Structure 1
């Protein structure tokens, strides 16, 4: 082990460059995954004839595929179909495809957890099904599913390391380059990678706990208010 040599500024800067790529890939993948996952989850929840079942089948297939296979597909197979993506966007696309399928199921489950009586009450007041979904069901479901979504996004951050297989210059890839030059740097690089991933993922996990506690506190206050009214 050679911590002094491994942690020289040039290597640290190279690792931080990799971390920056990791964060960029994560950012874009999160944005697109939330958008697509939200749309897919709502479509499946609304049970649109024929379309929802086809979408559900596609989502189930994606969820049961290894993410590594999807990364290979976006980088090596899509060019055969005339769609050429550079390494960065191939990684983002693969993560987006995989995570949007996961998030869609979280959203569908969150919407299904809302009592059907609330939707019926909204429709009985003159709201359309879409208005009932937007104004009544979604706001409640978001509080219930927010911790699960954050947990899934934590998994997404860790999954970015798989993109090293297509030579994306992210954190794991850059660390591998450093310790391949000197085997004495292996343990120091793993220590640094562990620390960086831990800081990011632990921060998000604490945020997830905050959302869960906040949701529980709101539910408790509502229950207390109902009891007082009775």
Structure 2
């Protein structure tokens, strides 16, 4: 038990909190960007525009079936070979945004398709254009169906930020490794601290989502 007390000094705790902030920063930026891009891609795929929807579908399917770790390696180590250099933070955000956009695009498309087709037909019969019906009638209903899978995907994104330790991003896991790398007796205390911090962030997000789902319902 003494190792726990020694590991949780204010210096170590502050060091971990700084890493947690990096984790939250990467997660928030990636969530916002991927939701915007993923929504656009999902709608494009849903409307089945000739040629464009096919290309978007191929890109989405290709990206969804690649490991996120591979995208992180490509962004940080591969792109510099063609003259595109990023620091670890930008590389992590870029890779996660690309990966999550593909995942969210499928959630958006599936959510829209889950809305009864009669809703679109009824809206068009009332004089709305296709895009007006989609925006005013279909999307609000689809959003309620999307909230649970979107939240699950966002929670996965938060946990996946730990993969960025491989490109030396000073996030939560990376800093924990530094601490117990200096004293191996701190390994278990650091794992406990990591579990608690990840749980708090992810659980807070799930509570917010539950409130949004209840409000939307």
**Number of residue pairs matched?**
216
Within-5 A mapping of 1:117-136: 117-136=118-137
Q: Which moved more, 1:176-185 or 1:203-212?
A: 203-212
Cα distance, 1:118 vs structure 2 = 1.2
Within-5 A mapping of 1:1-230: 2-215=3-216, 218=217
Task: Please tell me whether the aligned partners of residues 71 and 94 of structure 1 are also in contact (alpha carbons under 8 angstroms).
Answer: yes
Task: Please tell me whether the aligned partners of residues 161 and 171 of structure 1 are also in contact (alpha carbons under 8 angstroms).
Answer: yes
Task: Please tell me whether the aligned partners of residues 18 and 174 of structure 1 are also in contact (alpha carbons under 8 angstroms).
Answer: yes
Cα distance, 1:203 vs structure 2 = 1.6
Task: For structure 1, list consecutive stretches of 5 or more residues without a partner in the other structure.
Answer: 219-230
Cα distance, 1:93 vs structure 2 = 0.4
Cα distance, 1:212 vs structure 2 = 4.1
Root-mean-square deviation (Å) = 1.2
**CA distance in structure 2 between the partners assigned to 1:3 and 1:124 by the alignment:** 67
Deviations 1:169-215 (A, max 9, x none): 00000000000000000000001000000111112223333344455
**CA distance in structure 1 between the partners assigned to 2:215 and 2:106 by the alignment:** 23
Bigger Rg, which one:
1
* 3-state DSSP of counterpart to 2:141: helix
* 3-state DSSP of counterpart to 2:85: coil
Task: Please tell me whether the aligned partners of residues 147 and 211 of structure 1 are also in contact (alpha carbons under 8 angstroms).
Answer: no
Task: For structure 2, list consecutive stretches of 5 or more residues without a partner in the other structure.
Answer: none
TM-score between both structures, scaled by the size of structure 1: 0.90
